[in-house]
Amino acid sequence: MALFLPRDAASVPVSRQVLDGCLETLGVTPDTRTDIALALGEACANVVQHAGPGVDYEVLATARDGRCVIEVVSTVDRGEAAVPAGPAPGAPSAEPAPATAEHGRGLKIIDALTDNLQLTGDGRSGTTVHFEKALSWLPGAAGEQLFSAHA
């Protein structure tokens, strides 16, 4: 699945709902879908709130080898000046966010709910948030049958 979405808060629930519908059709369990939806929402919200100049961003999701692999890609549009969007990306810090902080928990939430969280890019020309989640299937799930047939 590939979505190209405007960098607008209204795009965040759209991305979650579209991916959740795809995963539901494949027969992924509700608990796994909830974890993926929350992680995706956090990644998209980070792009909307913190990315530098740009008009849109991409959500790329694939299901393969029993995993859902998701990338949220924020790029700077051609012709726009690159403006730092904060420090260069990296792993979430080990320090907890202060209890009164309104921000700073998104990457920690993604890391807690998923596997293999990676951030790439320099924060100036764009950033990619990559994460994976092992898929759990409902009994008789179409997705499990499809993917095991190709293994």
Question: What are the boundaries of each domain within the chain?
Answer: 2-149
pLDDT reported for residue 83 = 38
pLDDT of residue 47: 87
d(CA 135, CA 143): 10
E strand segments, 32-113: 56-64, 67-75
pTM of the model: 0.79
The Cα-based distances of 139 to 10, 27, 29, 134 in angstroms read 34, 8, 9, 16
Cα–Cα nearest to 20, from 7, 35, 10, 42: 35
| Residue 125: Cβ within 10 Å count | 11
| Separation CA 118–CA 59 (nearest Å) | 15
* Tens digits of pLDDT across the chain (151 residues): 999 999 989 999 999 999 999 999 999 999 999 999 999 999 999 888 877 666 789 999 999 889 999 999 987 665 444 333 444 345 555 555 444 444 557 889 999 999 999 988 766 667 899 999 999 999 999 998 888 766 5
Give the model's pLDDT for residue 122. Answer: 66
CATH 3.30.70.890, applies to 2-149: no
